Amino acid sequence: MNMPNFIGRESDLSHIDEQFFHVVTSQARVLLIEGIAGMGKSRLAEQIEARSERNGMRVATGRCYEDVTQPYTPFRSLLTYFEEEELLDHHGHSYLHVLTGHRLPSSNIPSAPDANPDMLLFMNLTQAILTLAARAPLVFIVEDLHWADPSTLDLFDYLAFALAEQGSVPLLLIGTYRPVQPATRLGNLLARLHPEPLVRSLILPGLNDVETRDLLRALGVRRPTQQLVRAVHEATQGVPLFVEEALRYLVRQGALYGQGGALSIRTGSLPSIELPSDLTNAISDRLRALPLSCQLPLTLAALLGETFQTEILQMMVTQGPEELAAAIEDGIEHGVLLREDTQLRFAHPLLRHAFYNRLVPLGRQRYHLQIARTFETLYADNLELHILDIAYHVVMAGPLAPPETVLSLTRLAADKAFGIFAWHEAARYYEAALKALESGAALSAQERVNLLYQAGVSHHRNQDVEPAKFRFEQAAQDYRVLGDISGLANTLTWLTMMSYMHNSLSMDVMIYLQQLHEVFEALGDSEPALSGLVMVVISQAYRAERQGDGADEYAQRALDIGRQANNDFVCSAALNALGLAHLGRLHVESAIQSWQESATRARSVDDPFQYSLPLLNLPLALNLKGMLEEAYTQALDAGEAARLIQDWSGYSKALSHLVSVSVAKGDYVAAEEHHKQTMTMFERSRYTPASFRSLQALSCALALRGLWDEANEALDMIIEPGHLFPEPPQFETMIVSTFKQLIRTYQAERIHVNVATLANELMAVVQYDTYSIAPLCAIIELGAESYNPAITEQAADMLAVAMERGVVLSSGWPFLVPRVLGLARLVHQEWEQAEELFQQALSIGLRIGARPELARTYYDFAKLLILKKEGIVERRAVEYLDSATQIFHELSMLPQARAVYRLKQNIPGVSLN
């Protein structure tokens, strides 16, 4: 198993960076970091050390040890600094012997009236530390304070309160520790420190599910399914060390298996995971302190879940109501249980885990089966309402549950979960039903293949594309054997959609497209609605392959079928595809109209999935048209629609539009926050187009502010093999190459490629589509910067057509199209045309609030006026430069502000203020 890199903790690191800022401005801080065993306190401390050094700060780290009682051990890490800086006088050197483990007799320590040796030590060492920090900012980390001996704790206490009194010293004192009881020595110290104004606290949470996925990958699981990630996260609560232990346990138990090229987990494999002994021992000691009357009821309660009701638990125990109520009150009093309205909850998942593991596996399975049967009897009149709970316990009963019972109940549970958009549970129970078939339960061949199909749909909507592909391919094979053309058509539509939506699967779109054509012919006129939906997917596949004629033709044919059949669902799907085809040809207004009608039709049939699709597409068209406020609002609405149905691919798409619009408006803080969310959703969904757009926009935001390395790193993520794409396609590679050269021009550095060659290579892959707008603009800017008019001509012709069709602002990397066309005319010295285009750009930029591009238009327009007058500077040019400077400074676009300054330097008689 690989040693993982540091995973996640972005918000924690941001909090620590805030403390760095205070320290370098001579504001002392004490940071107390709490986390249970295995939460990653030591790994975080390593990151703090590295970040401290990168920020030019001194750093010293000491650790307390459970089995070492030598006082002041953590403070020895400061000795090197003391000796190098000669901080201790001849009196102070005596105290070094204390730190090095050779305490001198008290008579050898300089005396003071009524002084005790430890207090003199504290005073001298604290003064030395403060002096050291005054010479250069210092970060001092003391790890594992829960193991500190009394003398070490007292010295930490003395130093912390000395900082509180001193205040203005560049020192960050950090202590890490596990949770402790208030009555302990450390608990008392923490209680006194927390109210101090300079003290900050950080309680480390577990990793979230995305970070858990990242950790599993770092540990060697290259492609974990969402089922595996969810199971590990639920069992470990995201505690990094526990995740490692869980993976080792699963490997030892043979509980992992391949599914569609990804690694998944067998149902019920993780509840009995073995956690580190130092933690389980501490929890066991806590549980043993409970009265004997609590032990069995809480052990059985752990089988019910994180929350449970007393009435249900009463049915499982032999105690009477009064005895059980007393046992529960004891659990609450000892901090093991919490009361929440009508339910009870374990105070921490690890407490439930400890109770659960008290039962041997066979005992747990027997109790789970008993609970399932009890629930069946109790809820016989309303089985559907409680079917998910019943199915959970039947599955957890393992082989003790009869396969026919498992099949019956899990099918009902899966259908229920599917209907409420609980995709993880739906996939889990469809898979459990299929496993029951393997164990001897019986179904007809038609029912079995339908289960395979439903499992595929559930996996896909749960963002588990590999298992989805695996089940769909099984279903397609069985539908062929059965001669079920309708089932085959439905399955192939999913496989075709996956082939163009998920680059990570390396599926050949054209192979599935050919199969869809064949099944469309086989359907004939028997099922017009299904034929229409097949045409919709064919249209979208052609669009994904950038074949606009085919996309337009099949979308229109699907719409004709829908209208003839008076089927609003088919019409909505066809109109959505037609909108995509229109936008693929840059007919922006037609696309908007199609999507608006598509949403209306979907609303009439009350289908939240179909309704979300046009909503998710509209922000792009509105962005291209320059309707930024409308695009932003529409993206928010679309994101909520996607969240409602737990469509994380769609949600990432909505977020990526928020990134693009925020960058276009110059709201870089919002853009970076939306980008983080987009990439989080990408990790869950692996939906590439959203992350592709978001990374372009982020790179632009960084480059405009002079963050060159970060801008290039964002672009590198696009073409890094295995990140967005298994291997980066030619088109995306060319876009990245173009933007990287553009960044060099922002740096005022010489372009180190042949721009003409780059332009020719790019022009070979661009088309009249939305993806090509930004790189076409970039080529024109490169041509203007390199004084090469020839390479701008073809790109300008294509952009002119785009502008005629309603495109004024590119998505991803935002460019005002009329501004860029003005540059193309400028390099050809076509002054009047350039001036007209710049005037349009100013008008549009002001109207839509595209501040970065507005400022760049002011700058380019001023250059035109200066060149046009051949040295005679119009007053208007200076005013434009002043307007550009103001916006550049407001948006921290300092490289552009410096470009204005350089231009003004060459204008005689112009003030540089």
pLDDT tens column, 769-820 = 888 999 999 999 999 988 889 999 999 999 999 999 999 999 999 999 999 9
Domain termination residue (choose one: 203, 225, 254): 203
- Cα 98 to Cα 93, 101, 782: the distances in Å are 10, 5, 67
Residue at 486 is within a domain:
no
- Rounded Cα distance between 875 and 897, Å, is 19
- Compare 5 and 219 and report the one with higher pLDDT: 219
Q: What is the CATH number of the domain that holds 341?
A: 1.10.10.10
In a domain, 754, yes or no: no
For the segment 514-521, the average pLDDT, to the nearest whole number, is: 92
- Encoded tokens for 599: 């949403």
**How does residue 449 score in pLDDT terms, banded at 50, 70 and 90?**
very high
Judge if 44 and 151 occupy the same domain: yes
Report residue 689 CA to chain centroid gap: 15
* Same domain membership, residue 257 and residue 164: no
Same domain, 46 and 160: yes
Same domain as 323, residue 174: no
pLDDT at 749: 73
Are both 199 and 214 inside the same structural domain?
no
Which pLDDT score, from 0 to 100, does residue 643 have? 92
DSSP 110: P
pLDDT above 90 (res 217): no
Together in a domain, 71 and 151: yes
CATH code of 44's domain: 3.40.50.300
Output the pTM of the full model: 0.78
Q: Does residue 198 share a domain with residue 213? A: no
Q: What is the DSSP letter of 647?
A: -
Determine the average pLDDT of the residues in 583-591: 93
- What three-state secondary structure class fits 125? helix
Same structural domain for residues 32 and 163? yes
Average pLDDT, the chain: 88
The CA-CA-CA angle for residues 589, 623, 744, to 5°, reads: 130
Over residues 94-119, mean pLDDT: 49
Last residue of a domain, one of 297, 321, 356: 356
From CA 890, how far away is CA 855, in angstroms rounded? 11
- Which of 154-158, 203-207, 416-420, 839-843 is the least confident region? 203-207
User: Considering only 260-274, 410-424, 466-480, 727-741, which range has the smallest mean pLDDT?
Assistant: 260-274
841: amino acid identity, one letter: A
Q: Mean pLDDT over residues 572-583, rounded?
A: 95
* Host domain of residue 307: 277-356
Under the banding of pLDDT at 50, 70 and 90, the label for residue 113 is: very low
Please give the pLDDT value at position 107.
36
Q: Measured between alpha carbons, how far is 779 from 775 in angstroms, rounded to an integer?
A: 6
pLDDT band at 102; cut points 50, 70, 90: very low
Domain boundary among 356, 386, 418: 356
**Residues of the chain above pLDDT 70, percent:** 92
Higher pLDDT, 123 or 496: 496
pLDDT attached to residue 121: 78
Same domain, 64 and 177: yes
The letter for the amino acid at 717 is: M
Mean pLDDT within 652-678: 97
Confidence label for 261 from pLDDT (cuts 50, 70 and 90): low
Residue-level pLDDT at 278:
57
Per DSSP, 815 falls in state -
482 within a domain of the structure (yes/no): no
| Secondary structure of 496-556 as H, E, C letters | HHHHHHCHHHCCCHHHHHHHHHHHHHHHCCCCHHHHHHHHHHHHHHHHHCCCHHHHHHHHH
Average pLDDT over residues 117-122: 73
What DSSP assignment string belongs to 696-765?
HHHHHHHHHTT-HHHHHHHHHHHHSTTTSSSS--HHHHHHHHHHHHHHHHHTT----S-HHHHHHHHHTT
Q: Cα separation of 230 and 210, whole Å? A: 10
Q: Is residue 908 part of a domain?
A: yes
Does residue 355 register a pLDDT over 90?
no
In this structure, is residue 867 part of a structural domain?
Answer: yes
- Share above pLDDT 90 across residues of the chain, in percent, rounded to a whole number: 56
- 706 lies in some domain: no
Closest C-alpha to 699, from 732, 651, 652: 732
Domain count, the chain: 4
- Is the residue at 83 inside a domain? yes
Residue located via tokens 């526990």: 242
Same domain, 14 and 159: yes
Q: Give the confidence band of 280 by pLDDT, cuts at 50, 70, 90.
A: low
Residue 38 belongs to some domain of the structure = yes
273 pLDDT exceeds 70? no
Is 199 a residue whose pLDDT tops 60? yes
Q: Do 134 and 50 sit in the same domain of this protein?
A: yes
Are 159 and 181 part of one and the same domain? yes
Asked if the model's pLDDT at residue 106 lies above 60, the reply is no
Q: What is the pLDDT of residue 109?
A: 38
Instruction: Measure the CA–CA gap between 693 and 716, rounded to whole angstroms.
Output: 13
Indicate if the pLDDT at residue 325 is higher than 60. yes
- Residue 259 three-state SS: strand
